[in-house]
Amino acid sequence: MGSPLPRDPIAEARHNWERHGWGDVAAPMAAITAIMRTQQILLARIETVLKPLGLTFARYELLALLSFARSGALPMNKASALLQVHPTSVTNAVDRLEHAGLVARSPHPTDGRTTLIELTAEGRTLAKRATAALNAEVFGKSGFADDDVEHLLRVLGDFRKAAGDFTD
Amino acid sequence: MGSPLPRDPIAEARHNWERHGWGDVAAPMAAITAIMRTQQILLARIETVLKPLGLTFARYELLALLSFARSGALPMNKASALLQVHPTSVTNAVDRLEHAGLVARSPHPTDGRTTLIELTAEGRTLAKRATAALNAEVFGKSGFADDDVEHLLRVLGDFRKAAGDFTD
DNA sequence: TCCGTACCCTTGGAAGTCCTAGTATATTGC
DNA sequence: GCAATATACTAGGACTTCCAAGGGTACGGA
């Protein structure tokens, strides 16, 4: 999409902020922008690894979640809550995964409102392969030093908790 | 979209990774997932602030970039490179901003292939208001401690540089 | 019993991202 | 000068996300 820029655009932005008298918020602005950009880079790496397997990140996340579910099945609203995405996004992902034969919908035994989603054998196999690929190609080569990983987990964990992600 | 979960889903995922014998990549996996989620939270905050102004984040970024351009105008390919998004995304954003009367397209004086984009007076005013709102409501209340901001900037800066974002 | 409220999922629409292709203009090499 | 290559933008399609609205089901109080 683009070759390396001669200058860091986020450092430039920070400089612009300071030049306009917003020095008090320039650093957090830069940090937030850097998080946005980092997410973009990581997502691109992940999608590159998943593409040959016919998966997108959204669909992989759902497969992975199901593969760890004790009972092997999850209500859609549970999946929505755990993945922290809108229910319609889950509907969308399940539609496509179901069409690809990787998951199946079934009615909840006692609650007629609820739909359960479950991995097919094929879905379970693909989830394993996708996780192995991501472990090898992305998570195992993140480029973050061990110390930095721990620090990120602490800082971002505090942030998410303060944002109301979890109460734990 | 959801009330706080009783447990941190990312910590759960890390636990699942360790339980399956992928302990060597569990921490980076968790850190990467945390970056994804943090971006999602921050983007939602930003969009909430921009919505009353009739802007999305993508359009705001373009307005802000133009407002800092010395000449007041930028070729679309330059904007694409600096914002680090696909050229078609810039076309999309410019289409909508132009329709809203916030930017204008004009032909490049010497290169017939390139299109220049420029802020209208209205666009310049709105960019100022939007930046003020973001500074007050998002960047000024990021929730990150000053030390953590500096650390984030270093770690993510190293990462982006290693990923080939800039050569500086 | 039955009505209202709460909850679960789906549909349709708007927005963003990227990709692939296509058109038009520059530039380079022969 | 002209053909071949490179560059700039745009069109159409796939995907994800969210919101708003609607239909179905469950449950609790009158």
pLDDT per position as a tens digit, B129-146: 999 999 999 999 999 999
CA angle (A5 as vertex; A19, A142 as ends), nearest 5: 105
Report which secondary-structure segment, H or E, holds A37. helix A23-50
For A16-20, what is the mean pLDDT? 96
Distance B147 CA to C12 C1' (A): 46
Across the interface, of B144, B160, B165, the residue whose CB is closest to A155 is: B144
Q: Do A167 and B25 touch (CB under 8 A)?
A: no
Interface of B with A in 51-110 (CB under 8 A): 68, 80-86
Say if CB B80 and CB A2 are below 8 A apart. Answer: yes
In this complex, the residue with its CA at the shortest distance from the C1' of nucleotide D14 is A56
Say if CB A115 and CB A76 are below 8 A apart. Answer: yes
pLDDT at A1: 59
pLDDT band at B71 (very low <50, low <70, confident <90, very high): confident
Pull the structure tokens for residue B20.
């399956």
Q: Which of A165, A152, A167 is nearest to A42 (CA)?
A: A152
pLDDT at B1: 62
In this complex, the residue with its CA at the shortest distance from the C1' of nucleotide D23 is A113
Q: In what order do the strands lie in the sheet with A103-107?
A: A73-75, A115-119, A103-107
- Is the Cβ of A125 closer than 8 Å to some Cβ of chain B? no
Chain C nucleotides close to protein (CB under 7 A) are: 7-13, 15-20, 24-27
Does residue A20 have a pLDDT over 80? yes
- For the entire predicted model, the pTM comes to 0.94
On average, the pLDDT of chain B sits at 95
pLDDT per position as a tens digit, B10-19: 999 999 999 9
On average, the pLDDT of chain A sits at 95
Say if CB B49 and CB B34 are below 8 A apart. Answer: no
Return the SS3 of A22.
coil
pLDDT band at A168 (very low <50, low <70, confident <90, very high): confident
CA dist B100 → A160, B81, B114 (Å): 35, 24, 22
- Is the Cβ of A147 closer than 8 Å to some Cβ of chain B? no
pLDDT per position as a tens digit, A66-97: 999 988 899 999 999 999 999 999 999 999 99
